Amino acid sequence: MSKLPAVLVIDVQQSFLHAPYWREDDVPAFRENLVKLLDAAAARGWPIVRILHIEDDGHFSVASGLVRPMDWVPGAHDVVFHKHVHNAFTDTGLQAWLKARGIERVIVSGIRSEQCCETTARVASDLGFAVDYVTEATLTFPMIHAGSGTRYDAQDIKQRTELVLDGRFARIRTVDDVLADH
């Protein structure tokens, strides 16, 4: 079995730039952390897996021309999967691709922390993969609770995601932690 982890880069795509909730305030730190992770992964020969989300219409549709990596994402990658659901496994062939290479650990990064990234971490864990969830290499946006009207900022959402994943579905890691481990 391979001791190399695979880095999952989930939904870091142009589509988000056209979403009504898109905000730039957390993007510089996210970009810096994700680029650091991907550059180090490429230098170490870790497989890099791009996952792009597709919907039937709107800015996530293939016809929009926006289902492509954000311009600043490093070009190195080993494979691209397109998904139509929240997690990166159900309809993509990702599990078979990882298993064929003997990969047992995945590093989760991307957009949105509490949605596609968290869901992918949970499914990966349930499928038997060890999961490193690199919160600082994920991005999300403020949300308003439909029932109470309470507003949750991105940091609140990321902390909640860490709370529910840590020790159950994933190890919560920084980029430096992940790089020091391997």
In DSSP terms, 33 is beta-bridged to none
CATH code for the structural domain at 6-181: 3.40.50.850
> pLDDT confidence of 100, banded at 50, 70, 90?
very high
- Phi-psi map region of 9: left, alpha, beta (phi>0 left; psi -120 to 50 alpha): beta
The mean per-residue pLDDT over the stretch 162-175 comes to: 98
pLDDT for 1 equals 53
Element (H, E) at 131: strand 130-139
Is 141 in contact with 112 (CB distance < 8 Å)?
A: yes
Answer positive or negative: Cα dihedral of 156, 162, 164, 165: positive
**155 vs 44: CA distance, rounded Å:** 30
Domain boundaries, the chain: 6-181
Sign of the four-CA dihedral 29, 31, 36, 40: positive
Average pLDDT over residues 10-23: 96
pLDDT at 182: 73
Q: What pLDDT shows up at residue 115?
A: 96
pLDDT digit string, tens, across residues 53-84: 999 999 999 999 999 999 999 999 999 999 99
Whether 2 shows a pLDDT value over 90: the answer reads no
**Following DSSP, what letter does each residue of 25-73 receive, concatenated?**
TTHHHHHHHHHHHHHHHHHHT--EEEEEE--SSGGGSGGGT--SB-TTS
- Tokens, residue 79: 């494979």
Mean pLDDT of 3-16: 97
pLDDT reported for residue 33: 98
pTM beyond 0.85, yes or no: yes
- pLDDT at residue 17 tops 90: yes
- Which two tokens mark 19? 């979403």
Say what the pLDDT of residue 181 is.
Answer: 87
